[in-house]
Amino acid sequence: MKAFLLLILLFAVAFDIVGQTTPVIVELFTSQGCSSCPAANKTLTEILKKAESGRQPVFGLSFHVDYWNYIGWKDPYSQKAFTERQKDYSAKLGLDGIYTPQMIVNGQHEFVGSNKYQIENSIQEGLKKTERYKIEISLRSVSTEILNVSYQLDKDPGNETLSVALVQKSLENAVTKGENKGKKLHHDNVVLFFRAIPLERKSEVDIRMPESGAQHLSVILYVQDTQYHVIAAAMKPLN
């Protein structure tokens, strides 16, 4: 019996199927001006910690939208481009509008960002799927301000889009106005740079580095088909 189990293990290792899981992309649309968002921010942090401890490739991105800025507090991490991205998702998913906190898993499952049950189910479903491409990432500092990100696929692509994001882990700041007045908010994997480009077999993108430097930064690349479904992903820390 022991010999049989050993044979099965060796077979699995030979074909690289032991511990293999498909990366999952979790996108959180949030704002420091939204009173219900801190719970979702915390949920994303918990998801990332659990994935790290379980060695699961779950990559989170915190997109701070700008449509809450008018009520008295301007979210320092917000960008109009992130609001537009959320609008694009809303159209693809057939929703009536946009809201925060919204979480989208693999570009196809959306729900309130603090709904842990739906999040966990969607992540586990995503981990079981088969990746369409393998992505190899290389990083090179062009200067103190510019980071060159090059990538290569294991096969020729179709009509897909590559999303390129620079995220920073563990950001905190005090909020002095708006719905979260008096709170110190914590965020993980805050998106500082984002660009969606046509997917190629091999290409590169230049990213402008934040003034704070390269501490706790990672580059996340993910491939989406015409329906925005995530079909491949990879992440590479800068340090």
pLDDT at res. 20: 56
The structure's pTM equals 0.90
Q: 25: buried, middle or exposed (CB in 10 Å: 19+, 13-18, 0-12)? A: buried
**pLDDT band at 21; cut points 50, 70, 90:** confident
pLDDT tens by residue, 181-237: 999 999 999 999 999 999 999 999 999 998 876 679 999 999 999 999 999 999 999
What percentage of the chain's residues is helix, strand, coil (to nearest 5)? 25, 35, 40
Determine which helix (DSSP H) or strand (DSSP E) holds 218, and give its type and residue range: strand 217-224
Q: 213: buried, middle or exposed (CB in 10 Å: 19+, 13-18, 0-12)? A: exposed
What letter represents residue 143's amino acid?
S
In angstroms, the CA 36 to CA 112 distance is 10
CATH class of 21-237: mainly beta
In angstroms, the CA 206 to CA 65 distance is 23
pLDDT tens by residue, 133-188: 999 999 998 888 999 999 999 999 999 999 999 999 999 999 999 999 999 999 99
Q: Which residues contact 16 (CB under 8 A, 6 or more apart)?
A: none
